[in-house]
Amino acid sequence: MSQNSSANFRRDRYSRQMLYPGIGPEGQTKLLACHVALVGCGATGAAAASLLARAGVGTLTIIDRDFVEASNLQRQVLFDEADAEAGLPKAEAARRKIALFNSEVSVHSHVADLVPANIHELIGNAHLILDATDNFETRYLINDFAVQQNRPWIYAAAVGAYAVTMNILPGETACLACLFPDSPTGTVETCDTSGILNTAVNLAASIEVTEALKFLVGKPETMRRTLLSHDLWTSERAEVSAAKPRIGCRVCDDRDFIHLRGEGRAHITLCGRNSVQIHEHFRPVNLAEMADRLSPHGNVRFNGLLLRFERGEYTITLFGDGRAVIQGTSDVTVARSLYARFIGI
């Protein structure tokens, strides 16, 4: 394609978006020069990655530790049956799909777990960080990093029919720890145990990406300053103010970044042959309630002291303090993913 033809194609590709006065030609040029890091490429992440790439955000970094499975296809819009059959890593499958509909976007895929040791390397150059993870452990890590580096990020989650998002602009708005000083304890809903509507996923991603576009085109003042939640099934909607940092916040006020130092993470060890132990102490779990949640998804044995959940080649033995032994793998990343999917972290 000649240089003139390429310029015309680009103009045509984004013509309807540039007609919108909130973006315009100048905003489109800014988008093409921007770099967004997307942490997680499951349901919300796949939808957000597709929207960002189609909108013409020039560089995307996609980080995900998981692989495409058949059960993902109901809601994860970037993947197809061939990806599931091949068990492709989600980050790489997303990169390949994006290249098919917008080769102008540069996508850096990382099949990795975002941890304190690699967070600076993987997302340090991004202008904006989008959350599409499945656990609060990683969200608190992102929050610590973003506040320390004065980097904006957007929290988003979806489970069941429920979608929630929040913009974090360090120094201006509340951070995640301002509203939620501590990670949720006890039983936590996950998509694998509570189900999810693909419409909730797309709502969360659409709101998150719209807020991202506002920031990237240079209009952060138009970004929402609330934690917004919406239940599509009941039509219940709520907003909680996040307009200002909370006085006394451990992260904003004290600048005590325990998650960035690794202190807020579950300790993980190899536990004999083909087993990994996750030491999630101080997070009591109602084992009877967890047994009810897990029983539709595999074989569950529960004796009041511990719970044993068997699914395929893996067995998760869960104790009342949140500690678990995952048998069937010696891969820490796989073990963490299984814990997040079925126990919730």
Residues annotated as catalytic are 191
Spatial CA neighbour of 170 closest among 249, 287, 79: 249
Gap between the terminal Cα atoms of the chain? 49
How far apart, in whole angstroms, are the C-alpha atoms of residue 217 and residue 22?
8
Inter-CA distances, 152 with 50, 172, 278, 296, 318, Å? 21, 10, 31, 39, 36
Q: Give the up-direction half-sphere exposure of residue 313: CA atoms within 13 A in the CB hemisphere.
A: 7
Inter-CA distances, 38 with 24, 44, 155, Å? 24, 10, 11
How far apart, in whole angstroms, are the C-alpha atoms of residue 51 and residue 105?
12
Q: Give the up-direction half-sphere exposure of residue 34: CA atoms within 13 A in the CB hemisphere.
A: 24
Which amino acid appears at position 3 of this protein?
A: Q
Extract the tokens encoding 150. 């004065």
Which amino acid appears at position 311 of this protein?
A: R
- 38-61 burial by CB neighbour count: b if 16+ within 10 A, else e? bbbbbbbbbbbbbbbbbbbbbbbb
Extract the tokens encoding 218. 């240079």
Measured from the Cβ of residue 15, the count of other Cβ atoms closer than 10 Å reads: 11
DSSP calls for 214-247: HHHTT-GGGS--EEEEEETTTTEEEEEE-SSPPT
How far apart, in whole angstroms, are the C-alpha atoms of residue 135 and residue 117?
18
How far apart, in whole angstroms, are the C-alpha atoms of residue 170 and residue 109?
26
